[in-house]
Structure 1
Amino acid sequence: MRILLLHGYSAANLGDGLLVEESLRCIYDAFGEDSEISVFASHPETFSHLGVTVLDSGLSRRGYDMKYLRSLFQLRKSFDVLVAVGGGYLRFGTPIEALKTMLIHGPQLVAASFSRVPSIYMPQSIGPLRFGSRRPVQQLLKRCSVVALRDDRSVQEVGSIAPVRRVPDLALISGSTIEPSLDEPLAKAVLSVRDVKGKVPDDVMELSSLLSDYDVYVQSRTGGNDDTRATESLGTHPEIDKTTLLENGPTRVIIAVRLHAALMALRAGHFVIHLAYERKGFGAFDDLGLNEFVHNVNDFDASVVLKQAQALMKDKQARESYAQQIEKSVSHRRSAYSTLVTQMKHAGSSTTRI
């Protein structure tokens, strides 16, 4: 089966790279390992390791890549199923955000909607839908086969259109299990930050001062999503790398602003506190049963987060309670993945849409 994966960004942002890989896993589970897959990505060179065809969907000063444009106009001829990567890229919260969405992701959404090829949007956060965007986006999504939404605010904003399903983030339902390590964490937290509205939020800076001695971790180093400057603004702290955090390092307590820094750390067996800057974070930690460990990055009590981190580092009972909450969510998350794959198979068996 010929399948196109839409809306890829860059694997240099580890969260976006993860969602592309997990989307591919869903595709293989739904349509078979022999599926012939192509990917649209804004930074195609970062996905060269995947062993699939990757086309440049970015917008440069010279405009769009011609191969990309030809593919957009030949979707029905070239592909049997369209799958949109999970994420949070259909946003119209500010004029700049809306413009980026329309120029980068708008052509793919419109083309998929009118292609008469079964189209499946993997777990998304969609919105805010401002500046008159709500109705056009609704009308386009209505023409899709499946629109999986990963948080309740997105479900409310998009509305009760037929294709919508509430499904947890792909990082929670596919791939690695989420099971905190039984090892006692190092008595030194890890802080992973990003700019929010042009700067590291004040409450995060206060938390940095309260923690005093901690390590840092940089989740993304690409384009407008480079967290290097934000991390440097915290001062001088030892930095741990991806391999140490996610593969062979000791158990840690991680305080992370980017959602997929938080989720990837959870999948690696760490204890995580998330400082959410968008709706997706609250949806994900709600799906994990960890509501008390997610805070609004723009308005939280730094002393409360410090106490939570200290408890997870020092109190075995606190860690056991944390792990038990995650365990309670396992059945629901496994069922969600099975249901999503079944819906993908059903959508792929349909040859035409409205």
Structure 2
Amino acid sequence: MTHRIIILHGYSSKNRGDGLLVEESVSLIREALGEDTRITLLASDPDSFAHLPVDRYCSRPGRSGWDRGYLRELRHLNSYDLVVGVGGGYLRAGTVTETLKTALVHVPQLGAAALSRTPAVYLPQSIGPLRGGTRLVYTPLLRRLTTLMLRDDRSVTELSLPDAVRTPDLAITSPEFTDRFASDAADGTGEAESVLTVRAVHGAVPPLVTTLAEALAAADVPVTGYIQSSVGGNSDSDAQRSVTPGPLLDEDAYLRKNSHHADPRRVVVAVRLHAALLALRAGHRVIHLSYERKGFSAFADLGLEEWVHNVNDFDPALVVDQVRTLRESVEEQHRYDGLVRDRVPYLVDQHDLAVNSLRDAVISDAAVERTAQ
């Protein structure tokens, strides 16, 4: 039997982190339900996912309103075997702009999933902040989901939903991460340039990030940049070039896509969470300057609490020292790798939990339908 699955809340693969979460969701669904599973994706930039074997519809409203195909799919969620909410941090209402964007793009999808008879599994989320009374809108809808996975401790505490499951970000539970990172032997990175990859936070590069770039240069640490997102108002291009104006590392080198890991392992300092997690998946050693709740929980899941800092309140001298130590000390490289390797069994278990959650939701729903007949 070929299952029909719909994925909600996609964004754009031009933001490499959001693209990764959609790709991981598709892979997870096929692992759980079979390679012949037919998948439909609702995304703000559906054309950017043309590389995936899925049907696609645009969820972003235009001047004339929403795409008709998108509205049709939302009205017919009951025709699917399973609704899947992609992982991420899109359910938020911290500012007026966030609240409006979420109301236009994501609330219709969440509402349709919650009110549908089809089981709905939302993969690891960060939800919030929910200000201005929006919690009263979100919470009843979230309670109706079959399974809600939360990827950070603050979301768990603030929502206080009894059936929510605390699970790590999909980027670090996938077999690509657990197989690839754990198998990399510790090696020197002192000769390779380190990477500082940044984004604007609340409209500007945080001042301490600029100070860090200057401190790395003063310490004679060679640094290059990498642009993780190049999509519309979410592009990092201007912010990155203001900090690292020279040549940038391309995606293949950053992700070590050359054959047999020909590109060296590097020390990466990343502001975006998925710039950090993608670098870790590639085998780099990463220091994360987090601007949201999700970063601290993700690095705790990896056993790397020592290398995550608040982007608005950190000691640049300490981070420079961490970069130099990870570049030059084989002992420190072994320690870093060992901490992550110790977490691999837990991450594998969490991956299996996600696979089973998807499979069980479909099987249980099918059993209910047979009983009803």
Q: TM-score when scaled to structure 1?
A: 0.96
- Report the Cα distance in structure 1 between the residues aligned to 2:145 and 2:158, rounded to whole angstroms: 17
Matched-pair contact (CA < 8 Å) for 2:273–2:288: yes
Contact between 1:189 and 1:214, CA under 8 Å: does it hold in 2?
yes
Corresponding residue number in structure 1 for 2:336: 322
**Contact 1:181/1:270 (<8 A) preserved:** no
Is contact 1:22-1:175 (8 Å) kept? Answer: no
SS, match of residue 350 in structure 1: helix
Amino acid paired to 1:63 = G
Question: What is aligned with 2:307?
Answer: 293
Contact 2:189 2:327 in 1 (8 A): yes
Per-residue deviation, 1:181? 4.7
Task: Give the alignment partner of residue 245 of structure 1, picking from 254, 257, 260.
Answer: 254
Give the Cα separation in 1 of the matches to 2:118 and 2:344: 33
Counterpart selection for 2:195 from 181, 190, 199? 190
- Specify the SS of the correspondent of 2:35: coil
Task: Give the secondary-structure state (helix, strand or coil) at the position aligned to 2:51.
Answer: helix
1:109 aligns with 2:110: yes
Q: Distance in 2 between matches of 1:145 and 1:109?
A: 12
Q: Is the 8 A contact 1:191 1:255 kept in 2?
A: yes
Partner of 1:55: 57
CA distance in 1, matches of 2:47, 2:147: 29
Whole-angstrom distance in 2 between the partners of 1:317 and 1:194: 31
Q: Indicate whether 1:214 and 2:228 are aligned.
A: no
Q: Which residue of 2 aligns with 1:30?
A: 32
Which deviates the most, 164-173 or 233-242?
A: 233-242
Q: Deviations over 1:112-148 (max 9, x none)?
A: 0001110000001011111111132111011110000
Q: Which residue of 1 aligns with 2:11?
A: 9
Matched, 1:231 2:240: yes
Contact 1:129/1:157, CA 8 A, preserved across alignment:
no
- SS at 1:334 equivalent: helix
Q: How does 1:154-169 map to 2 (within 5 A)?
A: 154-162=155-163, 164-169=164-169
CA distance in 2, matches of 1:6, 1:244: 31
Matched, 1:274 2:288: yes
Deviations 1:192-251 (A, max 9, x none): 000000000010000010111410000010012100010121152220100011123211
Q: Take 2:245 and 2:93, find their aligned partners in 1: how far apart are those partners?
A: 36
Give 5+ residue unaligned stretches, structure 2. none
Cα separation, partners in 2 of 1:181 and 1:57, compared to 1, 3 Å: farther
Residues 181 and 269, structure 1, Cα contact 8 Å, conserved in 2: no
What one-letter code is carried by the residue in structure 2 that aligns with 1:74? Answer: H
What secondary structure, in the 3-state scheme, does the structure 1 residue paired with 2:364 have?
Answer: coil
> Structure 1: which amino acid aligns with 2:12?
S
CA RMSD of aligned residues (A): 1.3
1:343 partnered with 2:357: yes
CA contact under 8 A between 1:190 and 1:214: conserved in structure 2?
yes
**Contact kept? 2:198, 2:205, Cα under 8 Å:** yes
1:186/1:251 contact within 8 Å kept: no
Q: Distance in 2 between matches of 1:103 and 1:283?
A: 29
139-148 or 242-251, which deviates more: 242-251
1:133 is aligned to 134
Decide whether the 8 Å contact of 1:214 with 1:237 is kept in 2. Answer: no
Alignment partner of 1:311 is 2:325: yes
Report runs of 4+ in structure 1 exceeding 4 Å deviation: none
Partner of 1:43: 45
Structure 1 portions without partners, runs of 5+? none
Distance 2:185 2:136 in 1: 46
CA shift at 1:319, angstroms?
0.7
The one-letter code sitting in structure 2 at the alignment partner of 1:238 is: P
Amino acid at match of 2:174: S
The answer for the alignment partner of 1:205 in structure 2 is 210
Q: Report if the CA contact (8 A) 2:187-2:333 is conserved.
A: no
Residue 96 of structure 1: aligned partner:
97
For residue 59 of structure 1, give the secondary structure of its aligned residue in structure 2: coil
Q: Distance in 2 between matches of 1:161 and 1:93?
A: 23
* Pair 1:122-2:131 in alignment: no
The answer to whether the 8 Å contact 2:186/2:330 transfers is no
What is the number of residues matched between the two proteins?
351
